[in-house]
Structure 1
Amino acid sequence: MPSEDLLSPSIATWTASDGPLSDLLADRDASDLVLAVGVLSGAEPWDPRTRDALASAGFDADEILETHEPATTAGASTTVRMPRGELAVRALVLVGLGEGSSADLRIAGAGVGRAARGRRDVVLVAPPSDEVGHAALVEGTVLGGWGPARFSGGAWQSGAEVTGAVTVVDVEADVVERAVRRAVATLTARNLANTPSNIKNPAWMAKQARTVARRAGLDVRVWDEKALGAGGFGGLLAVGGGSASPPRLVQLDYVPEGAGSETTHVVLVGKGITFDSGGLQVKPPDGMLAMKTDMSGSAIVLSVLAACRDLDVPVRVTGLLALAENMVGGSAYRPGDVITHFGGTTSEVGNTDAEGRIVLADALAYADAELNPDVVVDIATLTGAARVALARAMAPVYATDDALSSQLRAAGETAGETLWPFPLVRAYRRALESDVADINHIGPSVGGGSITAALFLSEFVGTRRWAHLDIAGPGRSDVDSGVHGKGGTGFGTRLLLRWLEGLR
């Protein structure tokens, strides 16, 4: 397998074609050529375009149905292998399209991607759809064709046999290009999240950010532990105090061409706990197994910033990565400690295993006080309560502005990353009252742990338009299935990119 650059995941070479399929197939080497077509559920499984495509390749559409009885459930695939030299292709992949919705097309694409792993050449005939559906098909194919990278022989290796080339028929070239870029950003976030914590620490993440900045033409600034102390970032220093790997704060800035003072400015803040032991209130062993992915929020923000220029995002975007390792040690912060955050707000520590909101508070306060953004969005694998409420399929979104919440939810539906609106219940704020500080950082007396965490964060954004995405559930996958590989999912990457692309 090829060596893997974690910041540039290995994928197929993608092109779009609107020429006759017969000519396209004739120009290919048939010895390892795959033709992929969709099968619809319902009385008529073939749309006219797919019938023509099958005929161009030498197949009888009705005979294919009768002989192979392909499943029509979205993502189900049937591979028909042909003798060498008999037809224009070596194999035919029949993938279920379900009802043909964009969600079904994304899962269908993942089925194609998995079935075509390791093939030299794939021609994918897209069913009739709009831009959203066609982008979903392409994104799904990229995501399904990927496998988590492996560290072997002193280097990272691609986790799946990479398809050599994919040609999509009857989809606009710009739609294909943009869909591939969004999917690659998701894979980058996954690679970073899945990197083991003995390799990945705050300084390592800061190094990746510098590399991204160089490649993508971004400005970058990194605060080390001395600069964090001088700047008053008490939350990052407290959480990172028990680790031999000191904390970092990273700022990345993207400015679109022609931007002026009136250009909308968005700040994205990502939780970056590179490993979470729970601190002095240590997690049970099983609870630590997935904690290398507890920095997924920062991986997503970094990957979004990396893609902004290629996608011509029309607004200014600043990314803040709040990076620390939450460990047990003689200098670890304790339950009952009082922390002074950036800007002076103090918080009483209620549980050292609720560290994510502490580092986010510093970054949010800095964004509000120093960056003057029009809107702030943070993303974090924050609370088990969110996972209990919504399981793995969707994430809560909290917002101080209904229009912002609606925009993010609409972007999520387009991207196949569903958000569900949760309330900032102000009556619960009194559960965060402290006798010794401005605020207690947890609210143990009312339940609703995801809500009280969001209420805590809201104290650090001033009057800004702000939204909080708690991705503790969909941020990780326990299985390699559909569009997800096992491990970090990168959930929120394509959502945020879709949202940013649509802003003005």
Structure 2
Amino acid sequence: MPVPTQLRTVHGTIRDIATTAEVIAVPVRSGPEIDPFYADEVAGVFPLGAADLLAHEEAKGGPGELVGAPCRLGDGLTDLLLYGVGDGSPSALRRAGAAVARRGRGHANVAVAVPSGAGDEGLAAFAEGLLLASYDFRVGGPPKRPAAETITLLIEVERAAGAAVEHGAVVARAVAAARDLVNTPSLEKTPRWLAEQAGRLAADSGLTVRVRDEEELRAGGFGGIVAVGSGSARPPRLIELAYEPETGPADRHVVLVGKGITFDSGGLSLKPNASMQAMKTDMAGGAAVIGVMTALRALRVPVRVTGLIAAAENLPSGSAMRPGDVIRHYGGITSEVLNTDAEGRLVLADALAYADAELDPDVLVDVATLTGAAKVALGQRYAALYATEDALAAALLGAGAGAGEPLWRMPLTDDYRQALDSDVADLANAGRGGFRAGSIVAALFLREFTGRRAWAHLDIAGPARAGSDDAEVTRGGTGYGVRLLLRWLRP
């Protein structure tokens, strides 16, 4: 489902937009200080004194801080909302926009005076926050407090802000597409369904798509994807999306690989019930890749990009893979299955090996809810980053910081490689020998399939899911990875 709120931009005064708005939001800088561009007008429409209200509430003007009171504009009462923007940085404006959108829920029309002097990056971040916090997903009836139908942005007269706002809206729609895929229950979300959704989004976004079914996967030697999906009556798929820039031949080819486990029971190494409850979201990496791909043409990304989503359902049955089985991956590397709940790396291995052998990428990046160890180490706001090149790591770290999706670089410790040794295969799929570095060992497993290419691995097990709303992040699937990868691809 799309983001329900529509953004529109106008030039004028607060009074010009007050006639139809149920909420009027005015920016407040740190201090607090009402944005000087609007201060005189606010004083005219709010005779009680906005400065006195801020002082009474002990406001500081921090990003996302809200102070509200009714005021009379024309024949009726309108909620005047003073919202903090902090230092006016893009990250502060993103948080401020999210706070305004949440406060505007339950109202049809919200008018927002945009902070004066906000640059294009800040304005795009502000639009992102407004739209991402307006996101809803429900199966059944509408939410009790639906998002505002329309948010009108009041822009300084001399500003041409449409392109910046549209940039933020494109990114927000891509995140919403990923969130929808993640939040859809697994009763509906089969590998085939995910492939169909990817095809629909590809058609809308000017992408080409190829989907390999279970027969093609088996014939093509994709042993990891086939093995993980073998326990389910709903067979696996490999989804391939391709984007070519319209500006001419690209000087770089990037392949994004996403884990697409549409439900993860753990297989025969069965998870406990509590650990299974969020496992409809175990394809969040694949959803992030699809979301990124949908925005490339609208953002005119100058890089050739291929997205691979390895989709399977990991269930126990008489035909499921067993601990002790040996899998032959695409390209011939074999792995011994020690734990069927370490399935994500098995499907990613096939996709990475295929990308290396057939697609000739300049850079490989995979995105996956891969290990609980990453969540234990970094919590729910940071993803773990592993990279074979310092320049690639630095670029992704910078993109994550700028996009509001932070990463923390972790070591690819060669001393831990022996944890993957197997007596009967090239690799074991789970660490042994007491190293206990679960996220690092998983990354080392994936590295074996990248052909010494420039490669980065994002373990998003923590930030891919949220237990509560927080600024632009919504409860459930967060769409983590879409914003940072789009920023990296289009600096």
TM-score tier by shorter-chain length is over 0.9
Q: Name which of 12, 16, 39 aligns with 2:9.
A: 16
Partners of 2:290 and 2:145 lie apart in 1 by 24
Which stretch of structure 1 is more off in the superposition, 137-146 or 400-409? 137-146
Q: Is the 8 A contact 1:146 1:159 kept in 2?
A: no
2:157 matches 1:165: no
Q: Which amino acid aligns with 2:186?
A: S
Output one character per residue of 1:465-500: Cα deviation in whole Å (capped at 9) or x when no partner: 110000001111011232121111111110001111
Match of 2:305 in 1: 317
How many angstroms does 1:270 deviate by?
A: 0.5
Alignment TM-score, normalising by the size of structure 2: 0.94
Q: Name which of 328, 333, 351 aligns with 1:345.
A: 333
Output one character per residue of 1:424-444: Cα deviation in whole Å (capped at 9) or x when no partner: 111111111111111111213
2:352 matches 1:364: yes
Q: Name which of 185, 199, 205 aligns with 1:216.
A: 205
Q: Name which of 104, 108, 119 aligns with 1:116.
A: 104
Structure 2 counterparts to residues 258-407 of structure 1, below 5 A: 258-260=247-249, 262-407=250-395
Q: Which amino acid aligns with 2:241?
A: L
Partners of 2:316 and 2:225 lie apart in 1 by 15
Match of 2:460 in 1: 471
2:26 matches 1:37: yes
Output one character per residue of 1:306-364: Cα deviation in whole Å (capped at 9) or x when no partner: 11111111111111010000001000101111000011110111211110000000000
Q: Is the 8 A contact 2:3 2:134 kept in 1?
A: no
2:375 matches 1:418: no
Secondary structure of 2:245's counterpart equals coil
Partners of 2:23 and 2:118 lie apart in 1 by 22
Secondary structure of 2:34's counterpart equals coil
How many angstroms does 1:51 deviate by?
A: 1.2
Match of 1:74 in 2: 63
Residues 232 and 273 of structure 1: CA distance in aligned 2, closer, same or farther (over 3 Å) = same
How many angstroms does 1:86 deviate by?
A: 4.8
How many angstroms does 1:159 deviate by?
A: 8.1
Q: Name which of 180, 190, 195 aligns with 1:201.
A: 190
Q: Which amino acid aligns with 1:11?
A: P
Structure 2 counterparts to residues 76-95 of structure 1, below 5 A: 76-83=65-72, 85-86=74-75, 90-95=78-83
Partners of 1:394 and 1:97 lie apart in 2 by 23
Which stretch of structure 1 is more off in the superposition, 32-41 or 182-191? 32-41
Partners of 2:330 and 2:20 lie apart in 1 by 62
2:167 matches 1:178: yes
Runs of 5+ unmatched residues, structure 2: none
Output one character per residue of 1:180-201: Cα deviation in whole Å (capped at 9) or x when no partner: 1111111111111010000101
How many angstroms does 1:408 deviate by?
A: 0.7
Residues 464 and 328 of structure 1: CA distance in aligned 2, closer, same or farther (over 3 Å) = same
Q: Is the 8 A contact 1:364 1:460 kept in 2?
A: yes
Q: Is the 8 A contact 2:101 2:147 kept in 1?
A: no
Partners of 2:334 and 2:144 lie apart in 1 by 45
How many angstroms does 1:21 deviate by?
A: 1.7
What is the root-mean-square deviation in Å for CA atoms of aligned residues?
2.0
Secondary structure of 1:38's counterpart equals strand
Match of 1:433 in 2: 421
Secondary structure of 1:180's counterpart equals helix
Q: Is the 8 A contact 1:72 1:97 kept in 2?
A: yes
Match of 1:3 in 2: none
Runs of 5+ unmatched residues, structure 1: 1-5
Q: Which amino acid aligns with 1:258?
A: T
Partners of 1:450 and 1:190 lie apart in 2 by 24
Q: Is the 8 A contact 1:182 1:307 kept in 2?
A: yes
Q: Which amino acid aligns with 2:7?
A: W
Partners of 1:86 and 1:99 lie apart in 2 by 36
Q: Name which of 462, 474, 485 aligns with 1:496.
A: 485
Q: Is the 8 A contact 1:343 1:365 kept in 2?
A: yes
Residues 245 and 56 of structure 1: CA distance in aligned 2, closer, same or farther (over 3 Å) = farther
Partners of 1:31 and 1:131 lie apart in 2 by 27
Q: Which amino acid aligns with 1:249?
A: L
Residues 21 and 69 of structure 1: CA distance in aligned 2, closer, same or farther (over 3 Å) = farther
Match of 2:444 in 1: 455
Match of 1:487 in 2: 476
Q: Is the 8 A contact 2:375 2:462 kept in 1?
A: yes
How many angstroms does 1:301 deviate by?
A: 0.5
Q: Which amino acid aligns with 1:376?
A: L
Output one character per residue of 1:152-177: Cα deviation in whole Å (capped at 9) or x when no partner: 27xxx578513222232246221111
Residues 50 and 394 of structure 1: CA distance in aligned 2, closer, same or farther (over 3 Å) = farther
Partners of 1:158 and 1:299 lie apart in 2 by 24
Which stretch of structure 1 is more off in the superposition, 427-436 or 269-278? 427-436
How many angstroms does 1:72 deviate by?
A: 3.1
